[in-house]
Amino acid sequence: MIKVLFISQWYPHRYDPMLGLFVQKHAEAVSLYCKVKVLYVHADENIRTFEMEEKVHFNMSELIVYYPYLGKNILYKVAKPINYIRAYWIGYKHISQQGFTPDIVHANILTRTAFIAYLLKLWKGIPYIISEHWSRYLLNRNTFNGTLRKILTRLVVRNAKAILPVSESLKEAMLTHKLTNENYIVIYNVVDNFFFHENPIIVHHLKKRIINVSCFDEQAKNIKGIIRACHELSKLRQDFEVILIGTGADFEDVKEYSDSLNFPTGIINFLGEKTSKEVANWMHNSDFFVLFSNFETAGVVISESLACGKPVLCTRVGIAPECINDKNGILISTNDENELLKKMNYLLDHFQDYDSTMIKKESMDKFNYSHIGAKITKIYENSIL
């Protein structure tokens, strides 16, 4: 059995159990076929010495090393990268003492984490691959800046055995920044099994139901655009309701904006944060999903909606151009609220024309744990030959 060391820039930890959850799910998928240890390091302003937290999760073990970060003055800014590397050294030494020597390192999110993998390759001769999720390479984001960062990123990408972006659009964006590697392989994010398999509690709803789930980041998600289009739609008909799930930095601003439009009663419903199982149940109890994002690296809510057998109306972002077709949804242009209005109006009368069983089956073949885990494991096998 291949032994894999997962390292990541983002990962669930004691201060944020949701950070990098998609990375954890990739590790879970791989652990179906490989022996997996996760090593994650996290800066902590509340401690004065290094702390280790170790636990078993799913079929794998996780080791989180918290390292002290005592402020933002010059002295501490110099100390932080040193402590960052020390934390990895402490963690790697600990798992080595437990008898774990990885056959391959799976680094997640450039650049610092992949640089650690590169150092391990130089020191121990362990090959590595890189998964990337970050939107900074996308042209409408364009936050991949800094000469040193670009040099280091190109170095670690070039020396990896494979690069695993979560969508074709992210792959193309990375290539435009000269992040060259001859082995780019798109690996989608995993969808939890209960989106596919769990029998939802179906509650009859009198109105046709549109659903959106997001982190309420207006720059990326453009929830106000959805709200404006729905306001215009409510002038044409009122046989629908919109369910908005999630919270985030712009939640209150978006809600206040919605309130200012004076929707008819019951059209717009803000439900706040929900668990993944609750999201799945709401998706099963809705008629179609709407995403109006300006940009996405993947858009896991797209795959989750498909897993529930629901048609998706969304902009051409993330995995949408690869996964949405006339059998499972409709693609529209970013920022085109008139097109969004027209297609929502159309789907309110035609959502039932889509074959829910077919949508669910095709998504299961793309996004389930066993499929993703097997695909990544094959990449490991080819990388350690």
> Model confidence over 25-54: pLDDT tens digits?
999 999 999 999 999 999 998 999 999 999
For residues 169-186, give the mean pLDDT.
96
Same domain (yes/no): 167, 249:
no
Token digits of residue 376:
């990544």
Residues 6+ apart with CB under 8 A from 155: 118
Same domain (yes/no): 227, 353:
yes
pLDDT > 80? residue 76: no
Q: Which domain holds residue 151?
A: 3-190+368-383
Same domain (yes/no): 201, 267:
yes
Same domain (yes/no): 18, 90:
yes
Q: What is the DSSP letter of 351?
A: G
Q: What is the DSSP letter of 290?
A: E
Q: How far apart are CA 13 and CA 33, in angstroms?
A: 25
Same domain (yes/no): 173, 27:
yes
Q: What is the pLDDT of residue 198?
A: 63
Same domain (yes/no): 74, 147:
yes
pLDDT band at 385 (very low <50, low <70, confident <90, very high): confident
Q: What is the pLDDT of residue 140?
A: 81
Q: What is the pLDDT of residue 139?
A: 83
Same domain (yes/no): 36, 110:
yes
Q: What is the pLDDT of residue 29?
A: 98
pLDDT > 90? residue 77: no
Residue identified by tokens 């056959």 is 103
Q: What is the pLDDT of residue 73?
A: 66
Considering only CA atoms, which of 106, 34, 10 is closest in space to residue 369?
34
pLDDT > 80? residue 330: yes
pLDDT > 90? residue 199: no
Same domain (yes/no): 327, 372:
no
The CB-side HSE value for 141 (13 A sphere, CA atoms) comes to 22
Q: How far is CA 44 from its chain centroid? A: 24
pLDDT band at 220 (very low <50, low <70, confident <90, very high): very high
Q: How far apart are CA 147 and CA 251, in angstroms?
A: 35
Domain count along the chain: 2
- In angstroms, the Cα distances linking 32 to 7, 300, 377, 379 are 18, 21, 9, 15
60: domain CATH number? 3.40.50.2000
For residues 226-240, give the mean pLDDT.
97
For residues 230-236, give the mean pLDDT.
97
Torsion of CA 287, 293, 296, 299, to 10 degrees: -10
Q: How far apart are CA 216 and CA 239, in angstroms?
A: 26
Same domain (yes/no): 268, 171:
no
For residues 236-260, give the mean pLDDT.
96
